[in-house]
Amino acid sequence: MAITGAANNSYPPVSTNGLFKVQVTNAFNCSNSSNEYSIVIGVADITIGDTRLRYYPNPISTVLHVNIALPTNDKLIIELYDFTGRMLQKQSLNQLQNEISVAGLASGLYGLVIYNGNEKAFRKLMVIK
């Protein structure tokens, strides 16, 4: 899909699933294309114990949203790891709608662990800048 009148070096992240590549054309009509990348924008539900959560988007560029379906007395904790196993963030999910900033993270794959007492769920997240 061409971006009409495009003259910038960066664009906002895509908001639809698909295969994408970049093609650059200079003033002499010479062009070159990047490899094609598959992008899947996702919303996912997780059930941990009797608590249902929804997280989105995946991939992420700046903020991960984690919503809790119903009010709960459960103590929910979210941890974000790089793939060397180093914990980067830890946050309690105290509201029905929570935000986790990934603005300071480089593009790449990360691990998301959500705890509900002794139970936990692991998901992969992709950060794209």
Q: Each residue of 51-102: pLDDT tens digit? A: 999 998 888 989 999 999 888 888 999 999 998 999 999 999 999 999 999 9
Which amino acid does the sequence have at 117? G
Asked whether 64 and 113 are in contact (CB, 8 A), the reply is no
Beta-carbon-side half-sphere exposure of residue 16 (alpha carbons within 13 Å): 4
In percent, the amount of the chain with pLDDT more than 90 equals 47
pTM of the model: 0.67
> What is the predicted pLDDT for the residue at 90?
97
- Grade residue 44 by pLDDT with cuts at 50, 70 and 90: confident
Asked whether 39 and 59 are in contact (CB, 8 A), the reply is yes
In order of their start, the domains of the chain are 42-127 (2.60.40.3080)
Give residue for tokens 């062009």.
31
Backbone CA torsion sign across 74, 94, 119, 40: positive
